[in-house]
Amino acid sequence: MMRLRDIAAMLGGEIDPQGRSPEAADMDIARVAKIEEAGQGDITFLANPKYTKYLSQTHASAVIVARDLQEPPPPGGMLPVLVRVADPYVSFLKVLVAMHPPGPPLPEGIHPTAVVAASAVLGEGVRLGAYAMIGERTRVGARSMIGHGSILAEDVQLGEDSVLYQNVTVREGCRIGSRVIVQPGAVIGSDGFGFAPRADGTYEKIPQLGTVVIEDDVEIGANTTIDRATLGETRIGRGAKLDNLIQIAHNVVVGPHTVIAAQSGISGSTRLGSHCMIAGQVGFTGHLEIADRTKIGAQSGIHRSITEPGRAYFGSPAWPQREAFRIQGAITQLPDTLAEVRELKKKIAELEAQLARRAEGES
């Protein structure tokens, strides 16, 4: 439980009592909740304009809103106490964490079933779960946590304050930075998909001799796979966020602070710029260059490089978003257009038959 005054101070916000007495700032907040479900003693937030209608309907005691929000009170009543902040969504997340602090995923210490190679180096406060394995010459930074059944193979480097949840595999020679979060089942450093065709129609495996580098503050979702480079590095830039079930192929570079949603796949040697936003099930062919701040809609297919930064694309194959919407709109009209074309062809055939008969009669 927290006082509303303390919450506002933590957020750098201002309390707008909506006509109530100044003592409203001292009310106790017991829970956080969604705006349409909140009740007395709850605090919620309003960031998306489509939920504005709930502001006059909610039973929440307080609502976190933007500083410039202007919403008249409902007839015969008043709005909840408002906490005006610069960013309601980020502020709500801070309150959520403050009131429900997450516990550590592992207890202190090293589980007796964990296996640590003699040449491995563990920093101060490292936690290892049951059946975790740390390979030869691998270094784990201070306060990092390795979950149950996870494997760090030989010559891996893991920075400080990182968390690898259950059954994560990090293959030999990969480098992971500090404050990285890897969700269960992710595989980092598996072989890239490289095979050379032989004359007899079979395939020769191309050795995958490179590594994977994951920079600081990256988050990697469950069952995501990041392949090692054929030569050199596959690199995930600082602050990038990868959802579940994503495939990152060999020698791919994902720029800093780029976010990628679930089931997307990036083919070999493609480079994504910084601050890109990639929706779910997007596919990239190989050897592309994607400019900074590019936005790509769900299920799009990217088959050529994007060189102009800050543009949005959609479709398969992808087009600039406005043009893609026009194409999609035209596609929906195709059945009617086809019916019209068939009718016109029928009428033309009838006219041609009439002209033919007239010509025969005149002759």
The per-residue pLDDT for 77 is 65
Query: Distance between CA atoms of 202 and 351, rounded to whole angstroms?
Result: 61
235/315 same-domain check:
yes
186/314 same-domain check: yes
Residue 39, C-beta contacts closer than 8 angstroms, at least 6 positions apart: 33, 59, 60
C-alpha to C-alpha distance for 60 and 45, rounded to whole angstroms: 10
Residue 210 placed within a domain? yes
Q: Which pLDDT value is given to residue 61?
A: 93
Q: Which range marks the domain in which residue 34 is found?
A: 2-99
- What confidence score (pLDDT) does residue 75 get? 61
Domain boundary among 99, 128, 149: 99
159 with 11, same domain? Answer: no
Contact (Cβ atoms closer than 8 angstroms) between residue 161 and residue 182:
no
Q: What is the pTM assigned to this prediction?
A: 0.84
Q: Give residue 118's pLDDT.
A: 97
Same domain, 354 and 271: no
289 residue type, one letter: E
How many angstroms separate the CA atoms of 257 and 218, rounded? 8
- End-to-end Cα, the chain, rounded Å: 102
Query: Is the bond into 17 cis (omega within 30 degrees of 0)?
Result: no
Q: According to the model, what pLDDT value does residue 79 have? A: 83
For residue 188, being part of any structural domain is answered with: yes
Domain boundary among 99, 133, 166: 99
| pLDDT attached to residue 74 | 63
Structural domain includes residue 32: yes
So what's the pLDDT on residue 362? 76
Q: Which residues are catalytic?
A: 250
Q: What is the pLDDT along the chain (363 residues), one digit of tens a residue?
A: 899 999 999 999 999 988 787 788 889 999 999 999 999 999 999 998 888 888 888 999 999 999 988 866 666 567 889 999 999 999 999 999 999 888 888 999 999 999 999 999 999 999 999 999 999 999 999 999 999 999 999 999 999 999 999 999 999 999 999 999 999 999 999 999 999 999 999 999 999 999 999 999 999 999 999 999 999 999 999 999 999 999 999 999 999 999 999 999 999 999 999 999 999 999 999 999 999 999 999 999 999 999 999 999 999 999 998 888 888 888 889 999 999 999 999 999 999 989 888 888 776
Residue 110 lies in a domain: no
277 in the same domain as 344: no
The residues facing 176 across adjacent strands are 158, 214
In a domain, 292, yes or no: yes
Same domain, 277 and 352: no
Cα separation, 280 vs 248, in Å, equals 14
pLDDT the model gives residue 73 = 61
Is residue 132 within 8 A of residue 182, CB to CB? The reply is no
> Contact 252/237 with Cβ under 8 angstroms?
no
Looking at the structure, tell me whether residues 310 and 190 fall in a common domain: yes
Residues 58, 175 within the same domain: no
Domain boundary among 74, 99, 124: 99
On whether both 130 and 255 belong to a single domain, the answer is yes
Contact 282, 302 (CB under 8 A): yes
